[in-house]
Structure 1
Amino acid sequence: MPEALAPEATAAADGAAPPSAPRLRLSRRGVGVLAGLLAALVSTACWLVFFSSVLNVRTVLVSGVRVLTPAQVLAAARVPLGGPLERLDTGAVRARVLRALPRVARVQVSTEWPHTVRLRITERVAVAAVRTANGYEQVDAGGVGFATGPGIPAGVPVVELALSPVGRSSLPEFSEAELVDSAVQIAKALPPAVARGTIAVVVHSYDDMELQLAGGATVLWGSPERDARKAVVLAALLKQGGTTYDVTAPDDPAVRG
């Protein structure tokens, strides 16, 4: 006798569609209960994060300092301990650090669950020192003065104004402040090894600036134009012995003595 067909096979043979799985339907009351539970969960999460002490500020970590100390940064930041981590005003913390510590160029304030605030500091680096009435002011590559002390900072040249008659007569065109800024840019252009061996950048006029080197040699620099090219040429010339190095025309330099 032929075998009996299974019910599925019979249905397929008859062209009828297989029965579909029953659909789960929520009543209006069920939808309301589910929405209420979801709202309660969201509210509880918001309370835990923004208002409770579960994720509060307990630790403040400082990194990136070289001259400053972590204690100085913490005192300037005044991060409030105990408050919710996610409600911390990081912009206000950043502003307090920058306002209180001129040596800080940038500060990144971030939060890390569950209890940590991180302050990543970038300090300014001096490229020159400018003599002032209060001592020697360290100046960074952007021309920003950030620290003043009685002694000459090690490893950077001092900017000295020794204006010639031409320089004094040109003050309406090139002020002392502009001449100092130009000398700072010269110091910025020097390779680190050359900068460490440079005692001073002496300004006679805009077109007459010179470097005094630690070994007693002099570099005739001329104007602050083409600083990068002059710095490269000077680094090569210093490999030769001499007492005077002339890079006023960097494409035709000279060494004397």
Structure 2
Amino acid sequence: MTQTRGWRLVLAPRDAPQSVRRFAKRARRHRLLAALPWLVALGVAALLGGAAAIVYLTPALGVERIEVSGVSVLDPDAVRRAAAVPGGAPLARLDLGAVGQRVRQLKPVRTATVSVRYPHTLAIAVRERTAVAVVPKVGGYTLLDAEGVAFLPVEASPPGLPVIRVARPEPGDATTAGALSVLAELPPAVRAQMVALVAESPTRIRLELTDGRLVVWGDATQNAAKIRVLQLTKIEPGHTLDVSAPRVVLEK
């Protein structure tokens, strides 16, 4: 019976013929060259895995500073507290959108852009709301922006900001929107005489002027015509002018 003998490559003994030793050496070199790409790939994978672990799982590239820019009425520390990012948190793992959303919960913040600067800085660029008026409240005033957001309490009305009296100022409120629409149309000469703009409802808006004068405005439509009537009419102290139907007044 014939037996098939299995051959495998082994190191040639020192007393083996020179040709056998050369053959074994070439075979070893061939195997090493064939394995080299795999060894390199394993090495690269190990390096990448180590680097990823350092970036994502350790504080080596973690938060050490939170830089806040663009604030004037807000304290930068208030922004940092709202961001709620713990020291040492890996920068690569931060949900920047969620951080920005938390900062935007602060009423004076209109927009917030969050970015990272390696190796250790989280940057928060804030754009604050701009006040266009103040709303009286118990003990002072609240700043109001053009969107109807009452965003910051103050003790005294800042110079140059008109007073709007509205029951519940907020975005989407029709009364607030009507008052702001009228305010935006008023020329500087009229604003200079105005003590307050009062809005009891979207159709019941009035201007309280100096010397006890009153202008019944009505709703926030036909503002240009109403302003023209107001500019053409002299109101005596303590008297009332109704411009809610401006065409009627102009046709007289």
Q: Are residues 1:201 and 2:192 paired?
A: no
Higher helix share: 2
Corresponding residue number in structure 2 for 1:35? 41
- Are the structure 2 counterparts of residues 253 and 156 from structure 1 closer, same or farther at C-alpha, using a change threshold of 3 Å? farther
Compared CA separation, residues 117 and 247, structure 1 to 2 (3 A): farther
1: distance between equivalents of 2:89 and 2:248?
A: 66
Provide the C-alpha distance between the structure 1 equivalents of 2:199 and 2:243, rounded to a whole number of angstroms: 15
Unaligned runs of 5+ in 2: 1-31, 168-172
Structure 1 residue 96: Cα displacement: 3.2
Aligned residues of 1:56 and 1:115 also touching (Cα < 8 A): yes
Give yes or no for contact 1:201–1:210 (8 Å, CA) kept in 2.
Answer: yes
Q: Pick closer, same or farther for the CA change 1:41–1:250 going to 2, 3 Å.
A: farther
Alpha-carbon distance in 2 for matches of 1:36, 1:105: 49
Check conservation: 1:216, 1:243, Cα contact below 8 A: no
Matched, 1:60 2:66: yes
- Point out the more displaced range, 31-40 or 153-162: 153-162
Residue in 2 that maps onto 1:170: none
1:191 is displaced (CA, Å) by 6.2
Alpha-carbon distance, 1:143 to partner:
1.4
Equivalenced residue count is 210
User: Structure 2 vs 1, CA of residues 66 and 250 (structure 1 numbering), >3 Å: closer, same or farther?
Assistant: farther
Q: How does 1:125-164 map to 2 (within 5 A)?
A: 125-133=130-138, 135-160=140-165
Change in CA separation of 1:85 and 1:160 when aligned onto 2, cut-off 3 Å: closer
Q: TM-score, normalised by structure 2?
A: 0.64
Give distance in 2, aligned partners of 1:88 and 1:161: 41
Q: Does 1:94 align with 2:74?
A: no
Pair member with larger Rg: 2
SS in 1 for 2:35: helix
TM-score by length of 1: 0.63
Note closer, same or farther for the CA distance 1:150–1:38 as it changes in structure 2 (3 Å cut). Answer: same
1:123 to 128, 134, 151: 128
Q: Would you say the 8 A contact 1:155–1:197 is kept in 2?
A: no
CA RMSD of aligned residues (A): 3.9
Unmatched segments (≥5 aa) in structure 1: 1-25, 163-176
Tell me, yes or no, if the aligned pair for 2:148 and 2:176 is still in contact at 8 Å.
Answer: no
Which letter does structure 2 place at the counterpart of 1:203?
Answer: A
- Please give the secondary structure, in 2, of the residue aligned with 1:211: strand
Match of 1:4 in 2: none
- How far is the alpha carbon of 1:138 from its aligned partner? 2.4
Deviation at 1:204, TM superposition (A): 6.3
Query: Does the aligned pair in 1 maintain the 2:61–2:118 contact within 8 Å?
Result: yes
Equivalent position amino acid for 1:117 in 2: L
* Residue in 2 that maps onto 1:104: 109
| Residue of 179, 186, 191 corresponding to 1:183 | 179
Tell me which residue corresponds to 1:72.
Answer: 78
C-alpha change, 1:211 and 1:64, in structure 2 (3 Å) is same
Distance 1:208 1:96, change over 3 A: closer
Same amino acid, percent of matched pairs: 37
Is this contact kept in 1: 2:104–2:112, CA < 8 A? yes
- Find the aligned partners of 2:209 and 2:85 in 1 and give their Cα distance: 46
The letter for the 2-side match of 1:178 is: A
Task: Report the counterpart of residue 114 of structure 1 in structure 2.
Answer: 119
- C-alpha separation between the residues in 1 aligned to 2:193 and 2:111? 29
Q: Tell me, yes or no, if the aligned pair for 1:156 and 1:198 is still in contact at 8 Å.
A: no
